[in-house]
Amino acid sequence: MICLRNKPVAIRLSVMAPLAAILTAWGGMMPPLELKATPDPMMGAVQAEICEQGLADKDAWPEVSPRATESFQIPAFGLDTLPQKYVDDGVRGTRPSPSLLRLKATVTLPAGNHRFLIRSRSAARLSMDGKVIAETPFPPKNGGDGSQAGSEILTPLDLGKGYRFAPAGEYEKIEDVAIEAGAHAFTFEVFVGGREGNKPRRVELGETVVALSSEGQAGWELLSPSGKGASYSDAGWEAYRSQVESTLAQRNASTRAALREKQAEIWKKRRDVAAQWLASTPETKVPALPEGLTATSPIDHFLAAKLLEIKAQNSHSAPNAVDFFRDVRPLLESRCLDCHRGNKAKGGLQLDTLANALRGGDSGPAIVPGQTETSEVIHRITTNDADEIMPPKGKPLTTEESAILTHWIQEGASWPELPLVREEVTPPVEDLAFLRRVTLDTIGLIPTVDEARSFLADASSDKRARLIDRLLGDDRWADHWISLWLDVLAENPNILNPTLNNTGPFRWWLQEALLDDLPMDRMVTQLLLQRGGDREGGPAGFGQASQNDSPFAAKGTVISAAFLGVDMKCARCHDSPSGSAKQEQLFQLGALLASKPLEVPKTSSVDPVKLHAGGRKPLIEVTLMPGTTVQPEWPFQEFADPSVVASLTAHPGDHRERLAALITAPQNERFAQVIANRIWQRLMGRGIVDPVDNWEKGTPSHPELLRWLGRELVRNGYQVKPLARLILTSQAYQRSVDPTLRQTDPLHTAPEPRRLSAEQVVDSLFAATGKPFRVEPVCLDLNGRRDTGNSLDLGRPHRSWMLASLSNERDRPSLMLPRLQAVADVLSALGWRGSRQDPLSVRDLAPNALQPAILANGSMSGWLTRLSDDNGLTELALKAPTVDDLIDSLYLRLLTRQPSEAEKERTSGYLREGFDTRKVEHPPKPEVPHVAPAFVTWTNHLLPQSNTAKEKLAEAARKGDPPTTKLEPDWRQRCEDVIWALINSPEMLYRP
């Protein structure tokens, strides 16, 4: 008996000899075999078939071999991911669980006593010429939630050095089979998914493999009809699987495209409607360029015109006078505007513009320039009448604060539309800084050294435009821009027992929509229709909100803010006290999303007794009683008239189709403008309307530009990239930073130093050092034994956005994911959220001590700084011809700039000593221990040894990889110190 993974399984040997003896006998005694391709119609490929039908909901092989519902080809008997299932308009769908995977090929083998290895997550059987030669069993039932199953064996089979250990939770089986020379038909059938109780398991493959160790050969290779079976070693498998992965990605993309093609007609019709609408509505004229100025994008015309206008407005105020934007505006913002803004301003008074303040409210003009006695504002902030004092809640204004307002009114209440932060624009940003900026803004990474050098060397005048085009065509655009939508749409999957307002992992749908450049109207339509697999990454997952008392009301607040700039958060429980959103409107919207009437739960209201307890008229109103049933109805007539629906969708009777059409209709100018404003905000630092998710609170700084951008988006078929190109090519985008600015100048005379996002920092650091992004899979159910509702596998991340909440509310060491935690610690400190329970449009980027701390001393920084063998900087340090050259490369790689003379001098002083002797002559080869990785998953996490194993992994993650032996330790450490300083330089965190 040999103990195989999961339970003791006897290896049946055709020749009954001790295993050790067989291994010795195979020690290279015979010449290597040649596996010849067969003259089969499938010519050198393995036919892979997925069977979705014909399987019972139980763990048993069907009597009749099921018919294939889908087939494709792969090079060998090895597969760890199924092609995605797509439904509807090309969104991810759900396969039945269980499904069956069948791999078939004819392979010509020489005569001999060959050894076969099969691996699978669930039951599998390999047959040759119709006879079963190897089998793995069905997994046992967990019972309950599976945490008590607890008897999984931790150590996989070990056949010595070079033998690839089975990955976590795989069954494996080895059989020796005596074979005659010639062609043999092999069929490998594998169960995928299955049932846990009456619930489905995830339809995911483990490492599904048939490997062969032919007589006379020591190693393993994947069984392959082509005769070129990949080596089944760790490296061989990695290479093979990434090749298959990219083939499958292409296949997935064409499947999506084909499904979308089926809907081409309606979308062509919609483009026609948009074109008609554009033609029938007045264009926004691009202003003429003021004399003496140049432009590289129409955007520059709009900005230049506005700058002139504001200059004129600001030219009147006297020196030493109260400055509206410095002194008055912050006061109004913090103390007045919450109530005195928008359609529902209290007392009919809006204090958001001079005109509104002069007009005043129910009590007369709020401000009379030059006359404090008759200015109602001054009376209200200074009275001691509790019924009249403003603000009605919180501390009254201080004497200093009232003095500011008083003086300001005395001086004539100068209220320019926008502050004039700078008189003149800054010069264009220099090449390297531009390269770094635009690369970060498009693909979320800093440029490579090669990119930097070739951009510098390029003397052509259109090199920036060409760079922008290249970056817009880069697939990694999706990796950067997805973060925006994950935040805004509150994507919030929990990998374990979702109960914290969790959604499905619709990140995968978002990623594909971005990869495919899906037009925004179509992407939003897909989201709102909520089709596909909720647990598989389809937009259906958006509709989930675990343990929320009214999920669709919650989703209503998400989409109104995301796509219409309407903040309805307050309306979740009561009418908005400051905005115009009514609770009924939110529930109407929610009912459209739900496709059915919604009842208002008691827990989504405010108890009237509590409400009126204070005496003074309560600030909030409840006009919708709990228990009321609200019908699906479009609550935003002001944005789009319901009559537009008929021409935009084939199913105007469907509530969700109707909602999608009304939000994304070209006639709904608000939608295109909100999207354009969000893109603008991401690239320019501040929305033309700010805040981007609550337009009632903001006045557009450039209303004509906003309207023009919205129309450009419509004109370009709602494609985001042409809009981004307009912005990126503008002079406004390409100005150099004014380091003294503390916030974005709404006139865009210069960008401020802008903190990079958490993802940009982390991804750039990994990319720049070349250290592999090596973390655990985002999964606590590695062997897929739990049901789909209670566990997710979010895969092995290679970019920061792919992380999620690590879901260890149980506080158990055995459920730690230490390497992911180390990365998540950095991301969280910098403003990323693993748990996105609510939507967020703009992150808090204020500095705090945790950020530099985790970058200085956290585990992740340790990995990046340490010159280990797999750190890209190690090779750089080994190959650099001179100290100066090394320093140049390090600066270019990490900071995308040349070091100054002083920096060069200082750094080379630190590294010069010992540079010539830094290489170790005959470095000891690092020992790669052949130790099975610990297998800790949900079903064994309560075992004490699972805790111990995870604690060891945590310790290893903290320590990081050992340093290379190729560099002298003393010099290596000094080089690491230089790298540490560059990584920790504030410059690393700010957009140039």
Partner 1 sequence: MKPSLARRHFLKMALAAGALPGAPRSLRAAALPPARLGKAEHCIFIWLGGGMAQVDTFDPKTMGNTKAKPFLAGSYYQAIDTSVPGIKVTEHLARTARLMEHVTVVRTVNHRVVDEHAFATNLVHTGRMISGNVVYPSIGSIVAQQRGAANPEVPAYMLIGLPNVSRGPGFLGAQHGFVYLVDTNSGPAGFTRPEDVGPDRAARRLSLLEPLQNRFPADSIPSDYRAAQTEALRLAGPDFMRHFQLGTEPGSLRQRYGGEFGQRCLLARRLVQSGVRFIEVSHNLNFINGTGWDTHNAGQLQQHVLIKELDTALSALIEDLEKQRLLDKTLVVVATEFGRPAAFDSGGGRGHQGTAFSLVLAGGGLKHSGAYGVTDELSKTALENPVSIPDFHATIHAAMGIDPHTELLDGSRPVPITDGGVPIASLLA
Sites for partner 1 among residues 18-37 (CB under 8 A): none
- Rank residues 379 and 707 by Cβ distance to partner 1 and give the closer one: 379
910 interacts with partner 1 by CB under 8 A: yes
- Smallest separation, CB 741 to partner 1 (Å): 8
* Residue 901 makes contact with partner 1 by CB under 8 A: no
Residue with tokens 């021409």: 647
Please, which of residues 823-842 interact with partner 1 by CB under 8 A? 824-825, 828-829, 831, 833-835, 837-838
Q: Does 482 participate in binding partner 1 (rule CB under 8 A)?
A: no
Pairing of strands 8-9, 91-92: unpaired
d(CA 591, CA 605): 17
Compute, in degrees rounded to 10, the torsion defined by CA atoms 239, 243, 244, 249: 130
Instruction: Give the shortest CB-697-to-partner 1 separation in angstroms.
Output: 9
Query: Which residue number, 727 or 978, has a Cβ lying nearer to partner 1?
Result: 978
Name the token pair of 361.
Answer: 């409210």
CA distance 503 to 538: 11
| 954 interacts with partner 1 by CB under 8 A | yes
DSSP annotation string for 900-957: PHHHHHHHHHHHSTTSTT-B-SSPPPPP----PPP---GGGTTSHHHHHHHHHHHHHH
Helices (H) and strands (E) in the chain, counts: 30, 21
CB closer to partner 1 out of 309 and 825: 825
Determine the Cα–Cα distance for residues 775 and 804; give it in Å rounded to an integer: 13
User: Which is closer to partner 1, CB of 291 or CB of 811?
Assistant: 811
Q: How many CB atoms lie within 10 A of CB 623?
A: 10
Tell me: does residue 795 bind partner 1 (CB under 8 A): no
Residue 898 interacts with partner 1 (CB under 8 A): yes or no? no
Strand, coil or helix: 724: helix
Using CB under 8 A, pick the residue from 43, 403, 646, 650 that binds partner 1: 403
Number of residues that bind partner 1 (CB under 8 A): 120
What are the backbone dihedrals phi and psi of residue 48, each rounded to the nearest 5 degrees, phi first? Answer: -105, 130
Specify the stretch interacting with partner 1 by CB under 8 A; choose among 30-38, 224-232, 361-369, 499-507.
Answer: 499-507
Mask of contacts with partner 1, 500-539, x by CB under 8 A? xx--------------------------------------
Minimal distance, residue 980 CB to partner 1, in Å: 5
- Here's the x/- map for partner 1, 301-340, by CB under 8 A: it reads as -------------------------------------x--
State the minimum distance, in angstroms, from the CB of residue 42 to partner 1: 49
Residue 980 in the binding site for partner 1 (CB under 8 A)? yes
Exactly one of 246, 383, 882, 917 binds partner 1 (CB under 8 A); that residue is 383
Scanning 33-41, 285-293, 358-366, 937-945 for contacts with partner 1 by CB under 8 A, the matching segment is 937-945
Position among 63, 362, 373, 921 found at the interface with partner 1 (CB under 8 A):
373
Which lies closer to partner 1 via its Cβ, residue 85 or residue 555? 555
Beta carbon of residue 545, minimum distance to partner 1 (angstroms, whole number): 6
586 within 8 A of 553, measured Cβ to Cβ: yes
What's the closest the beta carbon of residue 386 comes to partner 1, in angstroms? 8
622 binds partner 1 (CB under 8 A): no
Distance, CA of 58 to CA of 56 (rounded, Å): 5
602 binds partner 1 (CB under 8 A): no
Choose between 297 and 503: whose C-beta lies nearer to partner 1: 503
Interface map 744-763 toward partner 1 (x if CB under 8 A): --------xx-x--------
Extract the tokens encoding 815: 């459920």
Residue (309 or 809) nearer to partner 1, CB: 809
Are the CB atoms for 496 and 807 separated by under 8 Å?
yes
Reported as half-sphere exposure (CB side, CA atoms, 13 A), residue 15 has a value of: 17
The answer to whether residue 965 forms part of the interface with partner 1 (CB under 8 A) is no
- Answer yes or no whether residue 564 interacts with partner 1 by CB under 8 A: no
List 507, 522, 572, 748, residue binding partner 1 (CB under 8 A): 572
Instruction: Tell whether residue 593 is a contact of partner 1 (CB under 8 A).
Output: no
Helix (H) or strand (E) holding 265: helix 264-280
Q: Does 254 sit near partner 1 (CB under 8 A)?
A: no
Rule CB under 8 A: is residue 960 a binding residue for partner 1?
yes
Q: How far is the CB of 903 from partner 1 (least distance, A)?
A: 7
Asked whether the beta carbons of 77 and 19 are under 8 A apart, the reply is: no
Among 402, 595, 716, 898, binds partner 1 (CB under 8 A): 402
Q: Which is nearer to partner 1, 79 or 741 (CB)?
A: 741
Q: Distance between CA 782 and CA 970 in Å, rounded?
A: 42
Contact indicator for 231, 220 with CB cutoff of 8 Å: yes
Contact residue for partner 1 among 1, 849, 928, 931 (CB under 8 A): 849
Give me the phi and psi of 132, to 5 degrees please. -70, 125
Exposed, middle or buried by CB within 10 Å (0-12, 13-18, 19+), for 41? exposed
Would you give the end-to-end CA distance of the chain in angstroms?
64
Q: What stretch of H or E contains 117?
A: strand 112-120
- According to the binding rule CB under 8 A, does residue 397 interact with partner 1? yes
Return the residue of 808, 868, 898, 965 that touches partner 1, per CB under 8 A. 808
Question: How far are the Cα atoms of 13, 35, 187, 220, 232 from residue 115, in angstroms, in the given order?
Answer: 9, 15, 16, 9, 13
The residues facing 134 across adjacent strands are 126
Q: Does residue 271 contact residue 704 with C-beta atoms inside 8 Å?
A: no
Should residue 613 be labelled a site residue for partner 1 when binding is judged by CB under 8 A? yes
* 737 in Cβ contact with 751 (< 8 Å): yes
- What SS3 state is found at 251? helix
CB of 502 to partner 1, least distance (A): 9
* d(C-alpha 965, C-alpha 681), whole Å: 48
- For partner 1, which stretch binds (CB under 8 A), given 4-12, 265-273, 673-681, 734-742? 734-742
Contact between 903 and partner 1 per CB under 8 A: yes
298 vs 813, which CB is nearer to partner 1? 813
Q: Which of 557, 560, 730, 783 binds partner 1 (CB under 8 A)?
A: 557
Quick check: bond before 691 cis, omega within 30?
yes
Interaction of residue 816 with partner 1, rule CB under 8 A: yes
Q: Establish if 907 lies at the interface with partner 1 (CB under 8 A).
A: yes
Instruction: Give, for 133, the enclosing helix (H) or strand (E).
Output: strand 131-136
The enclosing H or E element of 46 equals strand 46-51
| CA–CA gap between residue 572 and residue 565 (Å, rounded) | 16
Exactly one of 104, 125, 464, 569 binds partner 1 (CB under 8 A); that residue is: 569
- Could you say whether residue 278 binds partner 1 (CB under 8 A)? no
Answer for the pair 819, 844: CB distance below 8 angstroms, yes or no: no
Give the Cα separation of 139 and 123 in Å (integer).
7
Query: Is 599 one of the binding residues for partner 1 (CB under 8 A)?
Result: no
In whole angstroms, give the CA distance from residue 653 to residue 642: 12
DSSP element (H, E) containing 71 = strand 70-74
Regarding 427 and contact with partner 1 (CB under 8 A), the answer is no
Site for partner 1 in 123-152 (CB under 8 A): 148, 150
Q: Which stretch binds partner 1 (CB under 8 A): 75-83, 131-139, 201-209, 544-552?
A: 544-552
- Asked if 858 touches partner 1 (CB under 8 A), the answer is yes
Comparison of 588 and 805: residue with beta carbon closer to partner 1: 805
CA dist., res. 826 & res. 858, Å (int): 8
In angstroms, what is the minimal distance from the CB of 440 to partner 1? 16
DSSP 587-656: HHHHHHHHTS-EE--GGGS--HHHHTTTSSPPS-B--S-TT-EE------TTT--GGGGGGT-S-TTSHH
Of 385 and 921, nearer to partner 1 (C-beta) is 385
